[in-house]
Amino acid sequence: MTDTQGHHHEGEHAHPQLGFWRKYVFSTDHKVIGIQYLVTAMAMAVIGGTLSLLMRLQLGWPHGSWPFLASLMPRAFDSQGHMNADFYLSLVTMHGTIMVFFLFTAVLTGGFGNFLIPLQIGARDMAFPFLNALSYWIFLASCIVIFSALLVQGGAPLGGWTAYAPLSALPAAGPGQGTGMTLWITAIALFTASGLMGGLNYITTILTMRTKGLSMMRLPLTQWSLLITAVLGLLAFPVLLAAAILLVFDRVGGTSFFIPGGIVLNNKLIEHTGGHPLLWQHLFWFFGHPEVYIVILPAMGIASDILSTFCRKPIFSYKMMVYAMVAISGLSFIVWGHHMFVSGMSPFLGSVFTITTLLIAVPSAVKTFNWLGTVWGARIQFTSAALFSIGFVSMFISGGLSGPFLGTSAADIQLQDTYFVVAHFHLVMAIAPLFAAYAGLYYWFPKMFGRFMNETAGKIHFWMSFVGAYCVFFPMHIIGIGGQMRRIYDPLNYQFLVNQQIVNVFISISAFVLASAQILFLVNFFVSIWAGKRATENNPWKATTLEWEVPCPTGHGNFGPELPVVHRWAFDYSIPGATEDFVPQTAPAVPAQQERH
């Protein structure tokens, strides 16, 4: 942060005026990079969401004919306008991959992480701004590569986002398992590299660049969650990267890491021997389970801070919130086997993983109690951001409570690979994080763009999303109990599923309602960037954290000539005796007030 004149930390005024390209495109400013991540991830969400609507079309009306869609995508439909089975599975695969990696991981850590870390810790930028920009551009490349998988000969891969070997290791095992699968692996490898760069940067920045007075236990929970998430990423992503590289070797190099001997394809014994298919699953889920928390932890942090702000009440039991996140992240590395209870893994290991998995319910329950404790006795201001953060809590409870069914290995025998699992993880790691991300967008939008999003549209967006999401995902528990398998193109092929098809129709109709609310959000977002109500104050929500000390939007360098000094924790709302119902972190301690932390 030294400019050409040798001045140190002169703030935004010392930065030379940058041209359009340097300022908005090839920027190293963390705020621009954060917004780039957000907007790119939104584009990916539109793709991933559209794919899910095509899936719901097929699941709601498995024998339906869609001549209009067939004319748009002739390779995906047959001559009568019925969707092809392999296309359906590539929808499943691409929807899962795009949403898990390119939407949720990208929005929450890439988007909010980059935008908020320096602003909330009182720093001028990330520790390594160039690495930060590089991380974004590699992420963008990975988005382009994964999207291109939809367009190549043979189509996108159809092995699911989990890409189980040997289906993923054998290009001859199905359409899309050739070039499409290769592009999938490439995209995941690029994404992993990008995530590692981001993670290193986040950890270094939060640990070393906090402003004066901002001790670890004064950090907003968003910062704690981003720090823990970055550590999880650094430990988990390399395992996925390694597995992906081994998979490439199996596919093109003739190795047999994941391919056992004795595989017969098209009635011919193939020349592989000695590998083990479960090795892929162990590696994948060793990454995959922490990945769940890479998505949910930042959502927890963001929702906690926003909830506290609009409840006008300190977060309940801040320390326990931090410890719970640390506990969850630690445990997340020893629970992966609960994805594999019926995989052929030793049943003894099933017992071990049941115990570790149910352990993780304890810190998760702590978080839920503490959110309830925060809302209890609050004075809630029902802004769009507040509604979405309350919605987050409800979705997290609903999704979390189906966890113990699946974590109990005996019950999981029946439920594994059914829609019960789909219901569980969509509520807990898709809808809950989505709600937290929306809360964050409505909340920090003025800090990003200097304008507000439209609140009326925001509230309509919330009510439709809240009802829509429950109507889509809650009944999935029921059809899962009824036995409907995941990744099935035509449930009507099974007698035992015919009676509950009406539920699938209901879910599909609800999905279209849910999607229409997201269109409303997108319109609101982009219109508000240019035409929203101007944010004239630094701190429109009367919040305590450091990003609200600076103008909306914030210039390059974030803070003025002096960096802020922190005197208190981030949750001083409604202190008895204080004139206002909030005290910013920068306000010096006054003897009359009860000093906290």
Partner 1 sequence: MADEKGPGRITSSGLALGALLGILIIVSIWLFAAKPWWFPGLTSIHGAEIDRVFNAVLIVTGIAFIITQGMLGYFVARYGSAGSEHADYWHDNPKAEFFLLTGTAVILVVLVFMGQKVWLNYYFTALPKDAVTVQVTAQQFMWNFHYPGADGKFGKTDLTLVDPTNLIGLDDKDPNSKDDIVTANDMHIPMNKPVVVRLRSKDVIHSFFLPNFRVKQDAVPGLAIEVGFTPTTAGAYEIACAELCGAQHYKMKANITVDASDADFNTWLQARLKERTGD
Under rule CB under 8 A, which residues in 174-193 are in contact with partner 1?
A: 174-175
DSSP H/E element including 269:
strand 268-269
Q: Do 184 and 149 form a contact (C-beta atoms < 8 A)?
A: yes
Residue choice 148, 179, 255, 574 for contact with partner 1 (CB under 8 A): 574
Binding status of residue 79 toward partner 1 by CB under 8 A: no
What is the C-alpha to C-alpha distance for residues 596 and 567, in angstroms, rounded to an integer?
Answer: 10
Binding status of residue 500 toward partner 1 by CB under 8 A: yes
Footprint of partner 1 on 143-162 (CB under 8 A): 158-160
For partner 1, which is the closer residue by CB, 27 or 370?
370
Q: What angle do CA 450, 454, 456 make, to 5 degrees?
A: 155
Binding status of residue 393 toward partner 1 by CB under 8 A: yes
Residue choice 153, 208, 493, 516 for contact with partner 1 (CB under 8 A): 493
Q: Could you tell me the smallest distance in angstroms from the CB atom of residue 584 to partner 1?
A: 15
Q: Give the residue from 270, 174, 195, 204 showing the smallest Cα distance to 239.
A: 195
Q: Give the residue from 434, 558, 524 showing the smallest Cα distance to 100.
A: 434
Residue choice 48, 298, 314, 532 for contact with partner 1 (CB under 8 A): 314
Binding status of residue 483 toward partner 1 by CB under 8 A: yes
For partner 1, which is the closer residue by CB, 40 or 58?
58
What is the C-alpha to C-alpha distance for residues 118 and 242, in angstroms, rounded to an integer?
Answer: 31
DSSP 337: G
Q: What angle do CA 210, 215, 218 make, to 5 degrees?
A: 105
Residue bearing tokens 């193939």: 270
Q: Do 187 and 150 form a contact (C-beta atoms < 8 A)?
A: no
Residue 178: partners with Cβ closer than 8 Å, 6 or more residues away: 153, 154, 171
Residue choice 150, 472, 488, 566 for contact with partner 1 (CB under 8 A): 488
Footprint of partner 1 on 445-464 (CB under 8 A): 459, 463
Binding status of residue 503 toward partner 1 by CB under 8 A: yes
Q: Could you tell me the smallest distance in angstroms from the CB atom of residue 288 to partner 1?
A: 15
- Fill in the amino acid letter for 493: N
DSSP H/E element including 265:
strand 264-265
Residue choice 380, 460, 513, 522 for contact with partner 1 (CB under 8 A): 380
Q: Do 444 and 385 form a contact (C-beta atoms < 8 A)?
A: no
What is the C-alpha to C-alpha distance for residues 497 and 471, in angstroms, rounded to an integer?
Answer: 19
Binding status of residue 413 toward partner 1 by CB under 8 A: yes
What is the C-alpha to C-alpha distance for residues 507 and 500, in angstroms, rounded to an integer?
Answer: 11
Mark the segment that binds partner 1 (CB under 8 A) among 225-233, 239-247, 426-434, 477-485.
477-485
What is the C-alpha to C-alpha distance for residues 119 and 293, in angstroms, rounded to an integer?
Answer: 24
Mark the segment that binds partner 1 (CB under 8 A) among 25-33, 246-254, 331-339, 576-584.
576-584
Mark the segment that binds partner 1 (CB under 8 A) among 48-56, 293-301, 372-380, 422-430.
372-380
Binding status of residue 316 toward partner 1 by CB under 8 A: yes
Binding status of residue 489 toward partner 1 by CB under 8 A: yes
Mark the segment that binds partner 1 (CB under 8 A) among 4-12, 73-81, 254-262, 430-438.
254-262
Size of the site for partner 1 (CB under 8 A): 118
For partner 1, which is the closer residue by CB, 218 or 477?
477
Mark the segment that binds partner 1 (CB under 8 A) among 15-23, 197-205, 360-368, 513-521.
360-368
